[in-house]
Amino acid sequence: MKYLNTKHERNSAKITSLTVLIVALLFFVVGPPYKEIPEEYGVAINFGEPSVVNDNAAIDNPSKSEDVVEDNQEDVTPEEQIDDIVEEEIPEEEVEDNAEEDAQKLAEQEAAEEAAKEEAAKLEAAEQKAAEELLAQQEKEALRIKEAEEAKAKAEAEKKAKEKLEAEKLAAAKTKAERLAKAKAAREAKEKADRAAAAKAAKAEADRKAAASAAAAQKNKSGGSDAAGFKLSQEGPVYPGCEGKNNADRKTCMNQKISTFFTNQFDSDLAENLGFTGNQSIKIRFDINETGKIIGVRVIAAHPDLVAETKRVIGLLPNIKPALQQGKPVKVPYSIPIRFKAQ
C-alpha cells in the first residue's frame, strides 16, 4: 500500500510531525525542574543524658546534672557567647539567600511557562492556519477535479452525439444509395424486359404480316392489301372520323386519332412523380371485336402505375366500326406504340 503519493498526504504528515515535536518540547520546558533537598539550618542543643528521678533523694542535695549545668554556665566566657551568637545568626542569612534564590527560580519558571504558553498559542495558531489553508486547498482541488470531470463528461457526450449524428447520416446515405441502386436495377431490368418483349412482338408482327401477305396473294382479291396490325380482312376497323379511306389510310388515321386522344387524356405528371425522366415508350395491344368494342387490352410500360393509367385511357376510347371479312364483322388485333417525354 503506498503512502505520501498526493500533496495532501505529504502536508498532513508534515503537520503531524511538527505537532509531535512541539508537544515533546513543551514537556521539557513546562515541566517542574528538579530540586535538591536543602540543608537544614538551626541550633543543636544537647541537654545531656537522661536522668532517673529518685524519690528517696533529699531535696537539699542537687543533682549532678544541675551541677554540671551550673558549672558549664560558669565556665562560658563572654567571647564564647559572642561566637555562639554569630554562629546562630549565620544560618538565618543563608536561609534568606535560599528564599531569594527559590523566588528567583520560581519567577524564572513562571516566565518559562508563560513563554511556553505563548509559544504553544503561536504554534496552535500556526497549526490552525495551516489546517485552514489545507482545507481551502483541498476544496480548491476538489472544485478543480469536479470541473475537470464535468468538462470531460460534456466532451464525451458531445463526441457521442456527433458520432451518433455521423452514423445516422451515413446510414441514411447508405439507405438512399441502396434504394437508388435497386430502383436503377429494377428500371434497367424492366427496360431489358420491354426490349425483349418489343423484339418478340415485332417478330410476331412480322410473321403475321408475312402470313397475311401470303394469304392475300393466294386469294388474289381486290380491295388492296391489309394494313399492318390488322388480321386478314377485306376492310379494316374504322375509327370515327376516318371513314372513306382504304386500309392503309385507315390505319394511319386511326393511329393519329388514338395518339391525340391518349395525349389529351393521359396524366403527363405521373411519370415525373415516379422518378422517370427523358423519352418514355408505352406499347399498347388490344382486340376490336365484332361489335367494335375494345377488349383484351395489354400494355407494356416501365411501371405498373403507367400500365394502369394507360388502360384507363384506352377504356375511354369511343366505339370503333369493326373490320369486315367477306362482308361479315370479324375480331381483329390492333397495336400502337405511344411515346412521350417526361420532364
Number of neighbours of residue 205 by Cβ within 10 angstroms: 15
CA distance 43 to 89: 10
By the 10 Å C-beta count (0-12 exposed, 13-18 middle, 19+ buried), 264 is classed as exposed
Task: Classify residue 269: in a domain, yes or no.
Answer: yes
How many C-beta atoms lie closer than 10 Å to residue 145's C-beta? Answer: 10
Residue 27 has pLDDT above 90, yes or no: no
Per DSSP, helices labelled H in the chain are 7-30, 64-75, 78-219, 247-265, 269-273, 304-314
Q: Is the confidence at residue 56, as pLDDT, over 70?
A: no
Q: Which of 116-125, 178-187, 265-274, 281-290 has the lowest mean pLDDT?
A: 265-274
Q: What residues make up the domain containing 258? A: 222-342
Checking if the pLDDT of 64 tops 50, the result is no
Average pLDDT on 319-327 reads: 86
Q: Is the pLDDT of residue 218 over 60?
A: no
The answer to whether residue 226 is domain-embedded is: yes
Count of domains for the chain: 1
Closest CA to 233 of 208, 204, 258, 257: 208
Interval 134-151: pLDDT, tens = 999 999 999 999 999 999
What is the rounded CA–CA span in Å between residue 186 and residue 192?
Answer: 10
Interval 5-21 mean pLDDT: 87
Contact by Cβ (8 Å): 81, 89: no
Average pLDDT, the chain: 78
CB 340 within 8 A of CB 306: no
93 found inside a domain = no
- % of the chain exceeding 70 in pLDDT: 72
Is 328 within a domain?
A: yes
CA–CA distance, 172 with 186 (Å, rounded to integer) = 21
Instruction: Measure the CA–CA gap between 254 and 334, rounded to whole angstroms.
Output: 10
Whether 213 has a pLDDT exceeding 80, the answer reads: no
Query: What amino acid is encoded at 320 in this protein?
Result: I
CATH of the domain at 331: 3.30.1150
Q: Report pLDDT for 224.
A: 38
Establish if 1 belongs to a structural domain.
no
Q: 299 pairs with which residues across the strands?
A: 284
Does residue 1 sit in helix, strand or coil?
coil
- If pLDDT is split at 50, 70 and 90, which confidence band does 234 have? confident
Cα angle 321, 281, 252; round to 5: 35
Say if residue 172's pLDDT is above 80.
yes
Asked if residue 306 belongs to a domain, the reply is: yes
Q: Which of 87-91, 200-204, 286-290 has the highest mean pLDDT?
A: 286-290
Distance CA 238, CA 241 (A): 8
User: What pLDDT shows up at residue 69?
Assistant: 42
pLDDT at 47: 65
- 66 in a domain, yes or no? no
Q: Are strands 328-330 and 332-342 parallel, antiparallel or unpaired?
A: unpaired
Picking from 332, 105, 88, the residue whose alpha carbon sits closest to that of residue 234 is 332
Give the pLDDT mean for 267-287: 85
Higher-scoring residue by pLDDT: 316, 342: 316
Whole-angstrom Cα distance, residue 262 to residue 254?
12
Q: What per-residue confidence (pLDDT) applies to 277?
A: 81
Of 240-249, 269-278, 289-298, 334-343, highest mean pLDDT: 289-298
Q: CA-to-CA distance for 42 and 54, rounded, in angstroms?
A: 34
Give a yes or no: residue 121 inside a domain. no
User: CA nearest 238: which of 288, 200, 188?
Assistant: 288
Chain length of the chain: 343
Cell reading at 204: 410476331
DSSP state of 68: H
